[in-house]
A and B are shown apart, each in its own frame.
Chain A
Amino acid sequence: MTERKRSVAIHVPVLTRVEGEGALDLRIDNGEIAELRLRIFEPPRFFEKFLEGRSYTEVPDMVARICGICPVAYQVTAAQALEKLFGVELDPWARDMRRVFYCGEWIQSHSLHIHLLAAPDFFGCSSAIELARIAPDEVRRGLRIQSLGNELMDLFGARSVHPVGIRVGGFHAAPELSRIAAIREKLRAALPEAEALIRWAAGIPVPQDDQDFVSVAVQHPRDYAIERGQIGASDGLRIEAEAFDAHFAEHHVAFSTALFSTYRQQPYLVGPLARLNLNYANLPERVQVLLAETGFALPSSNLFHSLVARALEILLALHEALRLLDTYRMPDSPFVPVTPRAGVATACTEAPRGLLWHRYEMDDSGCVVNARIVPPTSQNQGRIEEDLRLSLLNFGLDQPDDALRLHCEKVIRNYDPCISCATHFLNLNVERT
């Protein structure tokens, strides 16, 4: 007698608790995965095309509109690409405050993802509202931390959503000393909260699901890289942003409005766990202590450790913002003058969700001839599909449909995909025949 293996088709038509719109199609034939597709169907947004013909002065504000969660990443990356091309040397004040501004974004984005998007999965809750019933203090703490990140963004960006603070050459304005003193007190008061968050996150049971993958992140000799550094990979690659195209390839697939990225013809990981895997030696001493306390070894090959990685990065961002604001002074000018020139500008930084790469071809009047933006989610799209395939095999394809669907969603949400940024995404469709 032969055992009849199940054939299943699961379709998740709209993925919830992710930013943007996507779907998952899973077809299992005779107990084997026959088809697994992460479909990003949010319409293409053509931001690169909108930028053509626009002045360099407009670029930072336009790219900030790509994402309501990580606008600073887009602004900083664009500004730094153009500054490099124009030969602009930033005042040390502006360089430091760019990092502080970026720390605000990491704090709010990571806290949003941990508490409202990912954590409910690990407590058997369908939403943050359900999680708030069983862990109200933790959710309140998360919202306080998120709010502090927003305040930091508002301080330098004039508003936390689609901020407008950055200009090519520095910032439009410098915050007054009194506002810096007030935010320093709040950042200091948040340190024990962030430490408690790390301990809570590390105590959440997660599946043991080790996988082989290459981690890619910006690396810097001294800093835990955020806004500056070279592109590095766990196989030893170390390149400047200009060499991105020589090592990484983007390609279209019929079922997605986001491009798939590969490195050496293989998917790769960007984001908090990739950064922690590559850069943990550069964490500040106090964050190292908390990392050691959590007890997990780095580099980690378990993507479910991403939640703790985000919590650690919140503490890092708080320490970094405090370190740089402790010596805050009012600059003579918040920006330096800029003279545009023709050429090609490239830069990369670490958005909350991972490596963000920009390339602009500029004319001699400082207008964009063409632009290319490679966001983290499109780089992770291939890795998410690979992770789903491996993780489902580890989980067991004979599990009930609802359990399969939930597991898939958990895997996907763990990456904190920002589909709106990538669309250029989740409905699960499972078919078993």
Chain B
Amino acid sequence: MSRIRILGIGSPSGDDQAGWLVIDALSNSGLRTGGDLHFEKLDRPGASLIPLLVQADWVILIDAMASQPLPDTLGESRAQAGQIRHFDGQSWPDYRHGLSSHGLGVIESLSLARELGELPARMDVYGIEAEQVQAGCPAGETVQASAQRLAAHIAAELARSGVYASPG
């Protein structure tokens, strides 16, 4: 049986809690850490993310994202708050420096892990578009709803993998 790790990354700053909200929603749906399934919330883990990847066969990583303006829109149009995007272990969005005050962001840590050949066999990265990242504020309603929707999608993926029954 494969080892599955679900990592929700965030910080206590508005929509940046998106990854944490997905973990909460999974937990509230009855899914439990144990056996080969492990899920946890991480607060801006930096390079500490890499050892967590090594220990798993399938990693599902969720983080808030602030995407670049959409192409062919003369820089005027951005993704909408709460929009969910999926990336595999091969192609990730460009890292826009400056969003993190830490030396090593999530995409940099993933890129370093890939360079070292430390990525798990299956890697799913989900980004939830953030709008406001005000320290101490709750996530916006749109992002909260997206977190619920993504949690249901992940639970269904786990069920489809044949390893876990879909909770609830």
Partner of B116, one of A16, A19, A117, A139: A139
Residue A36 at the chain B interface, CB threshold 8 Å: no
In the complex, chain B residues whose CB is within 8 Å of the CB of A300: none
Q: Is the CB of A162 within 8 A of B43?
A: yes
Q: Is the CB of A129 within 8 A of B108?
A: yes
In the complex, chain B residues whose CB is within 8 Å of the CB of A68: 43-44, 46, 102
Nearest CB in chain B: distance from A140 CB, A: 6
Contacts A16-B97, A116-B103, A128-B104 given: A161-B112 contact, CB under 8 Å? no
Residue B111 at the chain A interface, CB threshold 8 Å: yes
In the complex, chain A residues whose CB is within 8 Å of the CB of B50: 143
In the complex, chain A residues whose CB is within 8 Å of the CB of B115: 129, 132-133, 136
A116 to B105 CA separation, bound complex (whole angstroms): 12
Closest to A130 in B: B115
Closest to B50 in A: A143
Closest to B44 in A: A68
Q: Is the CB of A146 within 8 A of B47?
A: yes
In the complex, chain A residues whose CB is within 8 Å of the CB of B116: 132, 136, 139-140, 143
Residue B51 at the chain A interface, CB threshold 8 Å: yes
Residue B90 at the chain A interface, CB threshold 8 Å: no
Q: Scan residues 104-129 of chain B and give those whose CB is less than 8 A from a CB of chain A.
A: 104, 108, 111-112, 115-116, 118
Q: How many A-B residue pairs have CB under 8 A?
A: 61
A116 to B112 CA separation, bound complex (whole angstroms): 10
Residues of B in contact with A, size category: 20 to 34
Contacts A129-B112, A136-B116 given: A112-B101 contact, CB under 8 Å? no
Nearest CB in chain B: distance from A413 CB, A: 9
Q: Is the CB of A161 within 8 A of B111?
A: no
In the complex, chain B residues whose CB is within 8 Å of the CB of A117: 103
A129 to B42 CA separation, bound complex (whole angstroms): 22
Q: Mark A395-419, 1 if CB is under 8 A from B, else 0.
A: 0000000000000000000000001
A161 to B43 CA separation, bound complex (whole angstroms): 8
In the complex, chain B residues whose CB is within 8 Å of the CB of A16: 97, 103
Partner of A129, one of B46, B51, B111: B111
Query: Which of A139, A143, A161, A162 has the most B CB atoms < 10 Å from its CB?
Result: A143
Contacts A129-B111, A132-B112 given: A20-B101 contact, CB under 8 Å? yes
Residue B48 at the chain A interface, CB threshold 8 Å: yes
Residue B138 at the chain A interface, CB threshold 8 Å: no
In the complex, chain A residues whose CB is within 8 Å of the CB of B42: 161
Q: Is the CB of A14 within 8 A of B98?
A: yes
Nearest CB in chain A: distance from B3 CB, A: 17
A127 to B108 CA separation, bound complex (whole angstroms): 9
A18 to B108 CA separation, bound complex (whole angstroms): 14
In the complex, chain A residues whose CB is within 8 Å of the CB of B102: 19, 68
A140 to B53 CA separation, bound complex (whole angstroms): 13
Nearest CB in chain A: distance from B144 CB, A: 24
Q: Is the CB of A161 within 8 A of B48?
A: yes
Nearest CB in chain B: distance from A303 CB, A: 19
Residue A17 at the chain B interface, CB threshold 8 Å: yes
Q: Scan residues 65-120 of chain B and give those whose CB is less than 8 A from a CB of chain A.
A: 97-98, 101-104, 108, 111-112, 115-116, 118
Residue B45 at the chain A interface, CB threshold 8 Å: yes
Q: Is the CB of B101 within 8 A of A147?
A: no
Q: Is the CB of A143 within 8 A of B51?
A: yes
In the complex, chain A residues whose CB is within 8 Å of the CB of B104: 116, 128
Nearest CB in chain B: distance from A322 CB, A: 21
Closest to A418 in B: B103
Residue A25 at the chain B interface, CB threshold 8 Å: no
Closest to B114 in A: A129
Contacts A132-B116, A161-B45 given: A147-B51 contact, CB under 8 Å? yes
In the complex, chain A residues whose CB is within 8 Å of the CB of B112: 116, 128-129, 132, 139
Nearest CB in chain A: distance from B40 CB, A: 10
In the complex, chain B residues whose CB is within 8 Å of the CB of A140: 116, 118
Q: Mark A83-106, 1 if CB is under 8 A from B, else 0.
A: 000000000000000000000000
* Contacts from B to A (Cβ < 8 Å): 42-48, 50-51, 97-98, 101-104, 108, 111-112, 115-116, 118
Q: List 19 A-B contacts (CB under 8 A).
A: A16-B97, A16-B103, A18-B103, A19-B101, A20-B101, A112-B46, A112-B47, A112-B103, A116-B47, A116-B103, A127-B108, A128-B108, A129-B111, A133-B115, A143-B47, A143-B116, A147-B51, A160-B48, A161-B42
Considering the complex of A and B, which 7 residue pairs feature the smallest CB-CB distances, nearest first? A132-B115, A147-B51, A129-B111, A129-B112, A17-B103, A21-B101, A129-B115
20 further interface pairs, Cβ-Cβ under 8 Å (given A68-B102, A128-B112, A136-B116): A14-B98, A16-B97, A18-B103, A19-B101, A19-B102, A21-B101, A68-B43, A116-B47, A116-B104, A116-B112, A127-B108, A132-B116, A140-B116, A140-B118, A143-B50, A143-B116, A146-B48, A161-B42, A161-B45, A162-B43
